[in-house]
Every structure is written in C-alpha cells, then in structure tokens.
Amino acid sequence: MKHLDREIDRLKAKILSLSSLVEENVTRAIKAVVEHEIESAKAVAQSDDEVDRLEVEVEEECLKVLALYQPVAIDLRYIIAILKINNDLERIGDLSVNIAYRALELSPQGVSPDVWALVEDMTSRVRQMLSSSLQSMVNLDAQVARNVCAADKEVDQLNKAIYRKLLNLIKADPTHADNLLLVLNTSRNLERIADHVTNIAEDVIYMTQGEIVRHGRALL
C-alpha cells in the first residue's frame, strides 16, 4: 500500500465519522419534530460542536493530502469531492440544529392533519435521501447517487405543497400563525437538507465518473 492510499484511508475514516454523526443528528431532529422529543432536540444542539470539529479535521486532512501528494485522476477527484461533501455535511448539521430548535417550540395547534402528513412524508424522504447519498459515497455507487438527485424534485414539490397549505391556513385563521410559521420553517430546513444531500450525490458522481452534473448537466 502506498503512502497516499494510507492517507486516503485515514480521510475515509474521518468523513465516515462525520457522516454518521450528521445522519444521527438529522434523525434526532426529525424525531424531535414528529414525536416532540425534547431530549432528541437537545442532543442535536449538544453534538453540533463535534460536527464542526470533525469538519475542520477533514478539511485539514484534505489540504494536507493535496499539498503533500499532489494527487491526480481518481485520487484528485476523491479528495476534491470529499472536501465539498465535508462542507455539505457541516451545513446539514447546522440545519438539523435549526430544525431541533424549532421542534422545542412547535405544537400541533392549528396544524391540519393533511399538512402534518406532508411534513412526515418529507422527513422520511429526506432521511432516505441522506442515507442513500452516504451509502453511494461509501460504496462509490454512481447509480444510487443519481437516484438521490432525482428524488430531490419530489422533496421540492412537497415543500411547495406545504407552503401553499400553510398559507391558506394562515389566511383562513391567523390565530396560530406563529406555530404554522414554525412548521413552514421546518419544511424549508428539510428542503435545504435535501439540497445539500443532492450536492453530496452530485459529488459522488463526479468522484466516480469524473462527470460534473450540477445545474442540470447530464443528470440522468
């Protein structure tokens, strides 16, 4: 095994630690929203420092590999992709903290069951997308990554549907507007998580196939 392979293995271990922590935080934040689990919400906020610390470590590791080994081809694409995925994971971590904080204040008051059903649908889709994108990163599976990119559209549509329904509810009866805006905020944060998850999947496609598929370029 050459030096660079050892460094890449070390980097893999770190990005995996960060991935599992962020995935766990998203799960906890969603649990806090859906089941109104206060302890889960607190746990997300508490572990965010660890997410930030790991993100800095991964970045430093990537910079070190770039400076010392000047990787090319698949090695270069791997490091560049990890550098970007690292950034997305940290942002997903921040968004899960936002969701967790909103969950502390959120109550079912004024939220119609159909809106709640859409929010729950969105949470399960976002969790599934995150899990698949991380799987595609670990297994270097571009096809799984492409499926993740395709799934983002459905989450966008759910977010829009929730927005329209909440708008109508507030217009009809503004009594619970504060609470409904918290739901809107949660939906928006979930949608943004899905965007970052899509970025991760796009980076996996670049990593494995050298193809840049951002901005709708040759996605499917």
Partner 1 sequence: MAGAMPKFEFSFKQGENAAATSADALQTAVSVSGLNFFYGTRQVLHDIGIEIHRNRVLALIGPSGCGKSTFLRTLNRMNDTIEGARHSGQVLIDGENIYAPTLDVVALRKKVGMVFQKSNPFPKSIFDNVAFGPRLHGVRDRSKLAEIVERSLSQADLWTEVKDRLTANGTDLSGGQQQRLCIARALAVGPQILLMDEPASALDPRSTAKIEELIHQLRANYTIIIVTHNMQQAARVSDVTAFFFEGRLVELGETPELFTKPMERQTEEYITGRFG
- Cα(81)–Cα(86) distance, rounded to whole angstroms? 8
- Applying CB under 8 A, the span of 41-49, 71-79, 123-131, 152-160 interacting with partner 1 comes to 71-79
Q: Does 125 bind partner 1 (CB under 8 A)?
A: no
Q: Does 210 bind partner 1 (CB under 8 A)?
A: yes
Q: Is the dihedral of CA 28, 33, 34, 36 positive or negative?
A: positive
Query: What angle is formed at CA 117 by the lines to CA 148 and CA 106, rounded to 5 degrees?
Result: 100
Q: How deeply is 87 buried, as exposed, middle or buried, from its count of CB atoms within 10 A (0-12, 13-18, 19+)?
A: middle
- Applying CB under 8 A, the span of 17-25, 68-76, 168-176, 183-191 interacting with partner 1 comes to 68-76
Q: Does 108 bind partner 1 (CB under 8 A)?
A: no
Q: Does 9 bind partner 1 (CB under 8 A)?
A: no
In the bound complex, what is the minimum distance in angstroms from residue 134's beta carbon to partner 1?
Answer: 24
Pair 96, 22: CB distance under 8 Å: yes
Pair 102, 189: CB distance under 8 Å: yes
Q: Does 64 bind partner 1 (CB under 8 A)?
A: no
Q: Does 4 bind partner 1 (CB under 8 A)?
A: yes
Q: Does 140 bind partner 1 (CB under 8 A)?
A: no
Q: Which of 37, 52, 75, 195 binds partner 1 (CB under 8 A)?
A: 75
Residue with smaller CB distance to partner 1, 2 or 215: 2
Q: Does 72 bind partner 1 (CB under 8 A)?
A: yes
Size of site (CB under 8 A) for partner 1 = 11
Residue with smaller CB distance to partner 1, 171 or 217: 217
What does the DSSP assignment read for 141-207?
Answer: -HHHHHHHHHHHHHHHHHHHHHHHHHHHHHHH-GGGHHHHHHHHHHHHHHHHHHHHHHHHHHHHHHH
In the bound complex, what is the minimum distance in angstroms from residue 75's beta carbon to partner 1?
Answer: 5
How long, in residues, is the chain?
220
- Applying CB under 8 A, the span of 65-73, 99-107, 117-125, 126-134 interacting with partner 1 comes to 65-73
Pair 100, 28: CB distance under 8 Å: yes
Positions that interact with partner 1 (CB under 8 A): 2, 4, 70-77, 210
